[in-house]
Structure 1
Amino acid sequence: GTRHPARARLSRATAAEAGVADGDVLAVSGPLGSVQLPLEITQMPDRVVWLPLNSTGGGVQADTGALPGELVRIAAGTAVRPEEAGA
């Protein structure tokens, strides 16, 4: 297919603050739950996370309970990095 792999995106400064590196799994949590996606560090505003809305489970909004622009929590994920899982 043409769909790109789902990734979370952070600025380099935000990733450093959260203790995660490019390719690590990032956990993003909202009031109803969380999603874990591989991280891509990119040029963007600090303290902002970008997530593809329709790529995981029931969709990021349904999985986390957070709407675009709402505060979420980020941390290193507990899932295995994709290259370690043979993805």
Structure 2
Amino acid sequence: MLTGWRMLLDNGRTQDGEPHLAGTARKPAVRLSADTAAEIGAADGDAVTVSTPRGSISLPLIITDMPDRVVWLPLNSPGCAVHRQLGVSLGSTVKIGVGS
């Protein structure tokens, strides 16, 4: 199941013309629980791909204390525009796998 959040510093319009501010943003990453990461054979830092029939997003993994079989993505960060790329909303079922 997909979950996520808009990061404070992302691809939003408030950072237009502010490359130094945008440069302080956290790097986009996918987050999974340790058990979910183990199910797909992924380790911290590995590229993990989240996909739907419409598209996919590949980001480095951060293993996080969170519910199993839930995948977290930033909603509108560089390389990760969930609604546009995946065509789904939060709470949707997505596929996850190791690699890009």
Work out the number of aligned pairs and report it: 78
Q: Give TM-score scaled by structure 2 length.
A: 0.73
Unaligned stretches of 5+ residues in structure 1: 79-87
Following the alignment from structure 1 to structure 2, what is the Cα–Cα distance between the partners of residues 34 and 69? 16
Say whether 1:40 aligns with 2:62: yes
CA RMSD, Structure 1 to Structure 2 (Å): 1.3
In structure 2, runs of 5+ residues without a counterpart are 1-22
TM-score, structure 1 as length reference: 0.84
- Identity among equivalent pairs (%): 55
In 1, Cα distance between equivalents of 2:75 and 2:68: 20
What aligned pairs does 1:9-20 form with structure 2 within 5 A after superposition? Answer: 9-20=31-42
> Which letter maps to 2:75?
L
The structure with the largest alpha-carbon Rg is 2
More helix by share: 2
Q: Is the 8 A contact 2:32 2:66 kept in 1?
A: yes
Q: Which consecutive segments of 4 or more residues in structure 1 shift more than 3 A?
A: none
